[in-house]
Amino acid sequence: MIRTRNLLALTGALAALVGLLAAAGPESRAHSDGALHQVGTYEYLTQPDFTGLAPVSAIANGNTIGLGTFTDLDGELVMLGGEVYRVRPDGVPRIVPGDATTPFMQAVRFQPTRNTPVAPGTTCEQLPTLINQAAEQANGIVAVRVRGTFDELTTRSINADPAPYQPLSQTIAEQTTFDLDGRRAALVGFWQGKDALGVGQDGLHLHGLTVDRTAGGHVLSCTASSDVQLSIQPVTEVKLLTPAN
């Protein structure tokens, strides 16, 4: 049985966003527009603790894009088109069953409120400014999709880290990177302001897959070609799911 509780003592603007999921199992739920559904928090990973908290199906059903990781950091989680993929250090995306467990996952039913072209040569580091302008906000959380051809695109995955867990930064330092320059891809994730610190990764956090679903991972860097489009959806509330003690 799964129940929900607030994972963090959240204040300010974020406190108004946080909602609690009703007690339920991993069955499909009706997801409200603009709601971010989440298992665990980024703060949880940095303890470090990579123990799975819930199956991916607990929040995947009814949502369309998202990101995260799996128990013991066993691969990068990329959710695209409602399917959940795992990208391990071999770089190959594979669809996972709903009972795969996760210590951290964020997902939304993506319904863009704004679409805007991205100028050729724009880098991932420059995207937050475009996101803030498109969303007309400098705090909170914004769901993001960036898709098209990328002149430069580097992704990564990391090796699984079973208990006892080493610091997250140490595990990331052992990453495997993938050069996906010139590939068409969809990058999905979230931009997060300082007022949501600890809920997700600060700033812009993107995972991605090539359109042919042969490569992907956590996005380290990118440079847009001439056909890239940015789509955004401001998050209206955050719902945190965790198992009962």
The pair of structure tokens assigned to 49 is 């603790």
Q: Which residues contact 210 (CB under 8 A, 6 or more apart)?
A: 180, 183, 184, 185, 216
* Letter string b/e over residues 175-202, b meaning 16 or more CB atoms within 10 A of that residue's CB: beebebeebbbbbbbbbbbebbebbbbe
pLDDT of residue 12: 33
Contact 89, 157 (CB under 8 A): yes
pLDDT of residue 14: 36
Q: Is the pTM of this model over 0.75?
A: yes
Contact 183, 215 (CB under 8 A): yes
User: How many CA atoms lie within 13 Å of 125's alpha carbon, on the beta-carbon side?
Assistant: 4
Q: What is the sign, positive or negative, of the torsion defined by CA atoms of 226, 213, 158, 72? A: positive
pLDDT of residue 34: 87
> Which domains does the chain show, CATH number per domain?
2-110+236-243 (3.30.1330.80), 114-234 (3.30.1330.80)
Collapsing DSSP to helix, strand or coil, 101 comes out as strand
Contact 225, 123 (CB under 8 A): no
Contact 14, 199 (CB under 8 A): yes
Distance CA 150, CA 17 (A): 34
Q: What are phi and psi of 127, to 5 degrees?
A: -65, -40
pLDDT of residue 244: 57
Distance CA 101, CA 183 (A): 30
pLDDT tens track for 11-26 = 333 333 343 333 233 3
Q: Which residues contact 164 (CB under 8 A, 6 or more apart)?
A: none
pLDDT beneath 70: ranges in the chain: 1-33, 244-245
